Amino acid sequence: MPDDRPRISDRIFRMALAVLPSDFRGNYANEMHRVFREQQREAGERDGFAGLIKLWWETLTGLLTTGPREHWEILKQDVFYALRMMRKNFGFTIVAVLTLALGIGANTAIFSVVNAVLLSPLPYPKGRELVILRQQAQKQGVDNLAFSVKEIEDYRAQNGTFSGVAEYHSMTFTLLGRDEPLRVQTGVVSANYFDLFGIKPIQGRTFREDDDKLGAPAVLLVSYEFWKNSLDGDPNIVGKTFRMNDRVHTVVGVLPPVPQYPVENDVYMPTVACPFRGSKAMMEGRDHRMMNVFARMKDSVKLGAAGADVETIAGRLMQDYPKFYPASMGYRTITVPLKGELIKDARPTLLILLGATGFVLLIACANVANLTLARMTQRERELAVRSALGAGRSRLLRQLLTESVLIAALGAGLGLLFASGGMDLLQGFAARFTPRAREIRIDYVVLLFTFIVAAGTSIVFGSLAAFLSRESLAAGLKEGTGGASASRRRHRVRSLLIVSQIALSFLLLTGAGLMLRSFVKLQRVDPGFVPQHILAMKVSPNFTKYTKNDQYRALSNRMLESAKMRPGVMSVAISSSFPFDPDSVVFGLGINPYLIEGRPLKDGEAQPTSAARVASADYFKLLGIPILEGRSFTEADTKDAQQVAIVNQALVRHHWAGEDPIGHRISFDDGKTWQTIVGVVGDTKELALNQPADEQVYVPVDQYPQIGSLLVRTMGDPMSVARDIRQSVYDVDPDTALTHMQSLEAARSATLTSPRLTTDLLAVFAGLALVMAATGIGGIMALTVSQRLREIGIRMAMGAKPRDILRMVLRQGLGLGLTGIVVGLLAAIGLTRLLQTLLFEISPTDPITLGAVGLVLVSAAVISCLIPARRAAKTDPLAALRFE
Amino acid sequence: MSSKDRDREPQAPLTPAMFHILLALADGEKHGYAILKEVADRTGGKVQLSAGTLYGIIKRLDESGWILEKSQRPDIGFDDERRRYYQLTETGRRVAMAEASRLQEMVDMARAKRLVRKPRLA
């Protein structure tokens, strides 16, 4: 036939047929082609070129409607069939869906945190332009020195790279006008602060230039959380007034929920309203540094240019005011992106957790793939029958993939439910590391992630199973014999999967084990004081009422007396702050430069600095801090007596190593007054248990009248006297604000929350991994035993004892387990150093942890192999041989 | 397709294309191209099936058991042996008749409402 020559139009037509399902093509392609050619010939003869064009158009549109419709039909059938098979194998379906749900759920949960905290841009317009300026004293190891009012003025006036420079500091003030005096964390900011961030209020307005002028009416902005929680979300809050620092403040607006850095503030006020910042010393003292500085870079300015600009200004200031920037301190000012600052604490933990959940998912995939493979063995007959009934190979593969996609989709849906159920927990967890925790939610990016993970998952376990059943499809018909090599290959793949599961479990268990050991060590750290039975609280007298030192002395004495009288109270102390004081944990202990009598500073030598704390006589006894030399403070250390100080061991080691420090004098005011050291006390870990104790100077409260905290040692549970103690303070002065009332034990434990949570999460993931790996190895051994029943029967008929059979099966299972452990160990040695930053006093390759994990996995392997092994050992050789 | 799905009576009206194919096969077996041609000729070119749509419909008619692919082929010499021929099954014939009478009823109703001017036989 002349028409049989392959022509371009034939080839194009054949290509167009690709839109049809392969089964359909296999059945009708030749017929269709024949019909098309006949039509083509007729159309060409009858209508010429126009007829051909019309025919092509009709044919192609026809194919484009038929193709999708046929695919859809197949999909419907496959889904129907898959659902029926899933119902029939309900146990398999449940296990597979749950396994994947746990894997996908854990990944979705952790990714939602990673997405919100690390990946999303800051919730401020052009957040990338926002930076923090940080003044440092490098030679003193101080990386955040804060800025003085004068310095901020200079940076604001002299820079050429910022569109705005805003100042910020945070203090606690007492808000009156409600039932109880309310201690509010107050952000004190320049008027341009909120405009700089681009924060729009949800009610009222933010600050204007006029608000920050001397003599302006006092105004307040309230944070979203404070408005919701403490002001009951009052819709008419704007215009209401509060008394604060003896002035009436009017609320002008409510802020939206935005991350607050470095601390969460309840309210904000303009700088001019802060009585501390307004003092002459603060306004004029170039070295009175208290403020943070935020800035927004101009549109086209790069971080490097802004940083160079800031450094230039810093250099100029050092030249102009050498007195305030002694070379010995190593001053410099750096510019860091705000986002980096907000997430830097969270990054290592989150990335490690994401890695851990990734491993869990891989293990889950391997488990489900193994399950699917095992089930394929059972389904070989069914697939062979379908194949004999005319289902093509690709058609069957498509069917199998549909099943795995469905299972993955169900797993993903359930996993998503798990993840969204744990959202509150996750936010609480992330809040320990970053102010961005409130941004965590399941948004479209997270959904997309879950979708991709689920798709990837179904491809991994589905195509593996489908691929391996491909060769056995044909073999299945030939009743066992032909399938031998395919089944061997499948067995190899299953073993490989088990080995990788064990190896991944080893990694996860090692990570969790290291975190656990590190956590136990942290918990066992002796903080240097006895936190049990101590109630601690922050005390803030209304400072507008107490302006003279004598008033403070009298107040502190009255508070001590009043509290001491309460039942259940053993002793009471007043101090400026206390160990694990939440304020100190955020702001640090304070850096106070001092002089040592008789030791003038050499040229270029840095002035020594120390934390300093005011403490009443019973402070050391109450906290159980040992007096190592000299004496404690006494009632005799009054304002008119000799000025005294007590120092801790760390400070003694620094300045008087091997000497007796008692009797030496130090001065915190350039030699105007001198404190004589009268005692040495033990070191205390105050900010974090994983850091060495700071050098510390204590001075008596009568000589430095300052009230910041009240500590109470109790006979029983410290919280049981909380109400009584609160009343005892109000009895003395009802305008006093009490905050952060908690047992010192709880304060100490709070500092351990984030390592504890990280440890817990890793432990949960590792536990999941262990269970999956153990069931995996048990499952494959059970399958092996049932496949080798005949062989085992022969062995036993030849004289093998049940013990030999038991040993044989165990040996095989253990072989897989040990291979996995060796691979896991090698991987662990390479990978665990990523945990380094989170570990405390423990090496990432800690042999005890690695050994213990190995032991756990070996035991898990033995236990999970024991059931199939015993079944094998109990085999009746006759029955086994009769089988088949 | 399980056997209970086969030989079923139509649940919904047939699509025009399906009905035309059944009609084309009503007076004997035909191959694909012959079906196309007959439909086009009979409708004066108003209904144009293409190779792209024809076999999708044939597949569905086949699965429904309304048409059957002939296993024996017509005489060699008289016809090309590579062709596949289709014929109406008994069910298919009943389906076509049911559809025809349904259409007839519709036309009658339309006539009663004076929507059809003059009865015209096909």
A147 with A296, same domain: the answer is: yes
The helix-helix angle for B16-25 and B51-64 (nearest 10°) equals 80
pLDDT tens-digit profile of A436-463?
888 898 999 999 999 999 988 888 777 7
Is the preceding omega at residue A262 within 30 degrees of 0, hence cis?
Answer: yes
Q: Which of A31, A45, A54 is best to mutate for the B interface (most B CBs within 10 A)?
A: A31
A125 to chain B nearest CA, in Å? 54
Q: Please judge whether A34 and B48 are an interchain contact, meaning their C-beta atoms are less than 8 angstroms apart.
A: no
Report the C-alpha gap between A62 and A797 in whole angstroms. 68
Low-confidence residues of chain A: pLDDT under 50: 1-3, 476-482, 884
Pick B52's closest partner by Cβ from A30, A31, A59: A59
Q: Is the CB of residue A28 less than 8 Å away from at least one CB of chain B? A: yes
pLDDT tens-digit profile of A34-73?
899 989 998 899 889 999 999 999 999 999 999 999 999 8
Q: Is the CB of residue B84 less than 8 Å away from at least one CB of chain A? A: yes
Of A54, A75, A96, which residue is a domain's last? A75
A54 with A152, same domain: the answer is: no
Q: Is the CB of residue A628 less than 8 Å away from at least one CB of chain B? A: no
- The pLDDT score that the predictor gives to residue B109 is 93
A710 domain-assigned: yes
Report the C-alpha gap between A32 and A60 in whole angstroms. 12
A575 with A713, same domain: the answer is: yes
A466 domain-assigned: no
Q: Strand, coil or helix: what is A167?
A: strand
Residues of B in contact with A66 (CB under 8 A): 52-53, 55-56
Q: Is the CB of residue B8 less than 8 Å away from at least one CB of chain A? A: no
Confidence of residue B5 (pLDDT cuts 50, 70, 90): very low
Residues of B in contact with A30 (CB under 8 A): 82
A686 domain-assigned: yes
Q: Please judge whether B33 and A59 are an interchain contact, meaning their C-beta atoms are less than 8 angstroms apart.
A: no
Q: Please judge whether B55 and A24 are an interchain contact, meaning their C-beta atoms are less than 8 angstroms apart.
A: yes
Residue of chain A with shortest Cα separation from B84: A31
Q: Is the CB of residue A53 less than 8 Å away from at least one CB of chain B? A: no
- The pLDDT score that the predictor gives to residue A480 is 45
- What count of other Cβ atoms lies within 10 Å of the Cβ of residue A410? 19
Confidence of residue B118 (pLDDT cuts 50, 70, 90): low
A712 with A583, same domain: the answer is: yes
- The pLDDT score that the predictor gives to residue B2 is 41
Most confident stretch, A257-261, B19-23, B117-121:
B19-23
Instruction: Establish, for the pair of chains A and B, how many residue pairs have beta carbons separated by less than 8 Å.
Output: 62
A750 with A684, same domain: the answer is: no
A589 domain-assigned: yes
Q: Please judge whether A63 and B54 are an interchain contact, meaning their C-beta atoms are less than 8 angstroms apart.
A: no
Q: Please judge whether B54 and A35 are an interchain contact, meaning their C-beta atoms are less than 8 angstroms apart.
A: yes
Q: Strand, coil or helix: what is A413?
A: helix
- What count of other Cβ atoms lies within 10 Å of the Cβ of residue B3? 7
A21 to chain B nearest CA, in Å? 11
Residues of A in contact with B47 (CB under 8 A): none
User: Is the pLDDT score of B120 beyond 70?
Assistant: no
Q: Checking DSSP bridges between strand A675-681 and strand A644-648, what pairing results, if any?
A: parallel
- pTM for the whole structure: 0.77
Q: Is the CB of residue B5 less than 8 Å away from at least one CB of chain A? A: no
Pick A69's closest partner by Cβ from B33, B48, B56: B56
A685 with A634, same domain: the answer is: yes
Q: Is the CB of residue A22 less than 8 Å away from at least one CB of chain B? A: no
Tell me the two tokens of residue A699: 């001075």
**Nearest alpha-carbon partner for A265 in A198, A199, A197, A169:** A169
* DSSP strands (E only) in A553-706: 569-575, 592-593, 595-596, 609-615, 627-630, 644-648, 665-667, 675-681, 696-700
A730 with A767, same domain: the answer is: no
Pick B55's closest partner by Cβ from A32, A55, A65: A32
A188 with A235, same domain: the answer is: yes
A620 with A687, same domain: the answer is: yes
A15 to chain B nearest CA, in Å? 13
Q: Strand, coil or helix: what is A263?
A: coil
Of A45, A60, A75, which residue is a domain's last? A75
A806 domain-assigned: yes
Q: Is the CB of residue A52 less than 8 Å away from at least one CB of chain B? A: no
ipTM above 0.90, yes or no: no
DSSP A739: E
Residue of chain B with shortest Cα separation from A55: B50
A439 domain-assigned: no
Residues of A in contact with B31 (CB under 8 A): 31
A551 with A516, same domain: the answer is: no
Report the C-alpha gap between B115 and B122 in whole angstroms. 18
Report the C-alpha gap between A536 and A741 in whole angstroms. 6
Q: What domains lie within chain B, and their CATH numbers? A: 3-112 (1.10.10.10)
Domain total of chain A: 4
Q: Is the CB of residue A31 less than 8 Å away from at least one CB of chain B? A: yes
Q: Please judge whether A66 and B48 are an interchain contact, meaning their C-beta atoms are less than 8 angstroms apart.
A: no
- What count of other Cβ atoms lies within 10 Å of the Cβ of residue B59? 17
Q: Please judge whether A65 and B53 are an interchain contact, meaning their C-beta atoms are less than 8 angstroms apart.
A: yes
Q: Please judge whether A35 and B83 are an interchain contact, meaning their C-beta atoms are less than 8 angstroms apart.
A: no
A296 sits in which H/E element: strand A292-297
A11 to chain B nearest CA, in Å? 15
A675 with A772, same domain: the answer is: no
Left if phi > 0, otherwise alpha if psi is -120 to 50, otherwise beta: which for B114?
A: left
Domain that holds residue A698: 546-734
Q: Is the CB of residue A30 less than 8 Å away from at least one CB of chain B? A: yes
B52 to chain A nearest CA, in Å? 4
Residue of chain B with shortest Cα separation from A73: B60
- The pLDDT score that the predictor gives to residue A425 is 85
Burial class (CB in 10 A: 0-12, 13-18, 19+), A446: buried
Q: Is the CB of residue B58 less than 8 Å away from at least one CB of chain A? A: yes
Q: Which of B50, B53, B63 is best to mutate for the A interface (most A CBs within 10 A)?
A: B50
A470 domain-assigned: no
Tell me the two tokens of residue A730: 């109000």
Cα–Cα distance list, A296 to A169, A258, A261 (Å): 17, 17, 15
Report the C-alpha gap between A826 and A823 in whole angstroms. 5
User: Is the pLDDT score of B4 beyond 80?
Assistant: no
Pick B51's closest partner by Cβ from A62, A64, A69: A62
Q: How far apart are the first and last CA of chain B?
A: 36
Residue whose tokens read 């379908």 = A386
Left if phi > 0, otherwise alpha if psi is -120 to 50, otherwise beta: which for A201?
A: beta
Per-residue 3-state assignment (H helix, E strand, C coil) for A519-581: HHHHHHCCCCCCCCCEEEEEEECCCCCCCCHHHHHHHHHHHHHHHHCCCCEEEEEEECCCCCC
Left if phi > 0, otherwise alpha if psi is -120 to 50, otherwise beta: which for A480?
A: left
Of A288, A315, A343, which residue is a domain's last? A343
A424 domain-assigned: no
Q: Is the CB of residue A63 less than 8 Å away from at least one CB of chain B? A: yes
Residues of A in contact with B32 (CB under 8 A): 31-32, 34-35
Report the C-alpha gap between B16 and A877 in whole angstroms. 68
A158 with A239, same domain: the answer is: yes
Q: Please judge whether B36 and A39 are an interchain contact, meaning their C-beta atoms are less than 8 angstroms apart.
A: yes
Residue of chain B with shortest Cα separation from A57: B50
The Cβ-side half-sphere exposure at B55, using a 13 Å CA radius, reads 29
